[in-house]
Amino acid sequence: MGNQRVLSLVQPTGNLHLGNYLGAIRNWVEGQNQYENFFGVADLHAITVPHNPATLAADTYAIAALYLACGMNLECTSIFVQSHISAHSELTWLLNCITPLNWLEDMIQFKEKAVKQGENVSTGLLDYPVLMAADILLYQADKVPVGEDQKQHLELTRDLAARFNHQFARKQPVFKLPEPLIRAEGARVMSLTDGTKKMSKSDPAEGSRINLLDPPDAIAKKIKRCKTDLFEGLEFDNSERPECHNLLTLYMLLSGKTKAEVTAECAQMRWSQFKPLLTETTINALKPIQDKYRAVMDDKGYLESVLRQGREKAQAIADRTLSQAKAALGYSVPL
Ligand code: TYM
């Protein structure tokens, strides 16, 4: 296990899709043995938009089970649930009080989501990046592997850490400034129905994304119907062909082939040849994850013990940082 600490979380809203996997979780798993890792389920973030209380707990456990199914190694990785560790909410409040409002109003994701929600926008949605900063800063994370869409939130996290250290902890900084880890390939997986939009859990069109738990026939149907174009042959990096670039990238990442290999293999293909190939590759890549997921879900006791251990380890670190932040702000220690 390395000395550097890696942390990331995923929201338990709906099913995880190929964007979450290729942009984030796959990279967590690939690099995990070099680091000490904390991977969480962001169930506090899940209520920043209207949510279903009847399914929140089950969705949260399902994401933790998917982490295990994707290959988390518990010797170097702790898996935890955000709401189980109260330091996340408490540090959010402390950071709120040093966060200029206009920093939050400038966040692209807030603007996009706020437009979608009209008058129903909650204060929580605006505050979401501060909660995310608290998640990261509590663990003194060195690296945060995420997809491209979280980049701006990581910049805000660094700005907040620097601001806090500068205002309250100049002699001995409380927070470490984390580095984003964003891979070039897979950092922005696009929708299957529109190659200019990112694949997203909140897209009302189910056919726009492939979920990690989709059965083979659903995968086949979605790829069969996905948007393509009328050009001849297949190619990467043609800005007039966003769907083509996206589908070739999916094939490359899921098959484990290099870009040069995929270019050579697919340059002369028609869509009618490529789509079955992508379908088979996707089904084969997801099968081991789906099998392991079912095994984990069949053993609730095991999953609970993993989360208990994860919480204990995470909480010790989070509480220590929270105490340091409170001391720097001048709070008294309870007697
Ligand atoms: P969330 O749950 O929306 O997404 C989880 C991860 O998946 C990545 N991702 C994508 N990557 C590539 N292509 C896509 N189409 C795509 N869609 C999503 C996201 O970048 C993310 O890495 N606020 C975060 C969760 C969070 C978090 C944190 C992350 C809470 N606290 C602390 C890192 C550190 C979110 O809503 O991600």
Segment 109-155, tens digit of pLDDT? 998 888 887 778 899 999 999 999 999 999 999 999 999 999 999 99
Better-predicted residue by pLDDT, 306 or 120: 306
Residues making up the chain, counted from first to last: 335
CB 76 within 8 A of CB 303: no
Q: Mutation test of ligand 1: which of 5, 7, 9 has the most ligand atoms closer than 8 Å to its C-beta? A: 9
Has 111 been annotated as catalytic? no
CB 238 within 8 A of CB 229: no
137 is written with which tokens?
A: 């800063």
Residue of minimum CA distance from atom 9 in ligand 1: 20
**Range 51-76 average pLDDT:** 96
* DSSP per-residue string spanning 72-108: --TTTEEEEEGGG-THHHHHHHHHHTTS-HHHHHT-H
pLDDT of residue 101: 97
**Range 252-274 average pLDDT:** 97
Identify the residue whose tokens are 């070099």: 34
pLDDT of residue 2: 63
pLDDT of residue 333: 83
CB 182 within 8 A of CB 146: yes
CB 236 within 8 A of CB 274: no
CB 175 within 8 A of CB 137: yes
Measuring CA to CA, which residue among 272, 281, 283 is closest to residue 228? 272
201, 221, 292, 326: the catalytic one is: 201
pTM score: 0.96
Please name the amino acid found at residue 139.
Answer: Y
Sign of CA dihedral 326, 45, 76, 25: negative
Helix (H, G, I), strand (E, B) or coil at 238: coil
Has 113 been annotated as catalytic? yes
**Residue 106 reports pLDDT greater than 70:** yes
Residue of minimum CA distance from atom 24 in ligand 1: 10
**Residue 161 reports pLDDT greater than 70:** yes
**Residue 1 reports pLDDT greater than 60:** no
Q: Which residues lie below 8 Å from residue 75, measured CB to CB, with a gap of 6+?
A: 1
Q: How far is the CA of 302 from the centre of ligand 1 (A)?
A: 26
**Torsion angle (degrees, nearest 10) of CA 113, 119, 122, 128:** 20
Computed over every residue of the chain, the mean pLDDT equals 96
Element (H, E) at 38: strand 36-41
Helix (H, G, I), strand (E, B) or coil at 319: helix
Q: What is the pLDDT of residues 312-328, one digit of tens each?
A: 999 999 999 999 999 99
Q: Rounded to whole angstroms, how far apart are CA atoms 181 and 151?
A: 9
Residue 199 Cα: closest atom of ligand 1: 15
CB 145 within 8 A of CB 186: no
Q: Phi/psi class of residue 50: alpha, beta or left (left: φ > 0; alpha: ψ in -120 to 50)?
A: beta
- Composition of the chain by helix, strand, coil, percent to 5: 60, 10, 35
**Residue 164 reports pLDDT greater than 90:** yes
Residue 140: CB atoms within 10 A of its CB come to: 19
